[in-house]
Amino acid sequence: MQKRKYAGTWTAIITPFQSDGNLDEENLRKIVRRQIENGVTGVVPIGTTGESPTISEAEVERIFEIVIEEAGMPGTAGKMMVMAGTGSNCTKKAVEHTKAAKKAGADCCLVVTPYYNKPTQEGIRQHFMAVAEVGLPVIVYNIKGRTGVNIQTDTLMEIAKHPSVVGVKEASGDLAQMKEVLEQRSDDFTVLSGDDGLTLDLIKMGGDGVVSVASNLVPAKVSEMVEYALAGNFEEAWKINEYLASLFSEIFVETNPIPVKYIASRMGLCELIYRLPMCAPSAKARELLSATIKNYNLA
């Protein structure tokens, strides 16, 4: 199986905050180091899991700076890549964030479909063309459930003609659409799963890995599963997938990143601080997540 440049396990990292609501820089550094130590391909700061809509402009630059500094320069032995979350439903802002990521030294960026606006397919195409002109490799992020609009495969293939557009994070949940993308992509176009539970299904069809939420908690296990699958050893990959299946489900018992951040706080990775409108999990969710912590020996 061909190993594309951006293939592997990417962790969509949480953003830790202090009790006063400010960015927790110390724990952010620890989170990134832990990912390096557990062998992931790279991290994604300021994605949905990182509570991106609540991050200020000043914090965007600071988070990129910290994460890239900890991850090391691209190609450094023992380090990892950084896929900066630069998306916005304002094209101008997405371009500015992408310029900031490029200046900071990110390897690539993750750009979500404009949300709430519900642009036409032509509007989507023009949005990504504007971001791609910055010159930083772009991973398109298709997630209809969060944005209200799906990137049709024909549109994605048009976007992919730009030399800076190098892949897609597919979180449509539609395996038929993913299959279409895989059949029509160019040889060097990376297709990553946006759902932990569909990672192996995607790789089996020819996909390249995952942008994972679960790897915030169990990075080594998710990385091992993906590496087995990319090497064609699906027997071992499915064993890990079966072991992690409950975790993949339970960390979405409430809106992401509420559950994963709750477990991370119990693991000592961050304080249990969210920015509204994200808030602490309900009593019922805490009960389930406490059982998850016990079952996976995470505390």
The catalytic residues are 141, 169
Alpha-carbon distance values, 29 to 66, 256, 285 (Å): 7, 21, 28
Which residues, including other chains, have CB under 8 Å from residue 246's CB and lie 6 or more apart? 292, 295
Which residues, including other chains, have CB under 8 Å from residue 266's CB and lie 6 or more apart? 290, 293, 298, 299
In one-letter notation, the amino acid at residue 51 is E
Alpha-carbon distance values, 63 to 10, 22, 72, 97, 288 (Å): 17, 12, 14, 12, 31
272-295 b/e (C-beta count within 10 Å ≥ 16 → b): ebbeeebeebeeebbeebeebbee
> Please, where are the H alpha helices in 72-104?
91-104
Distance of CA 160 to the CA centre of its chain: 19
Query: Pairing between strand 190-193 and 81-85?
Result: unpaired
Return left, alpha or beta for 57; rule: phi > 0 is left, psi -120 to 50 is alpha, else beta.
Answer: alpha
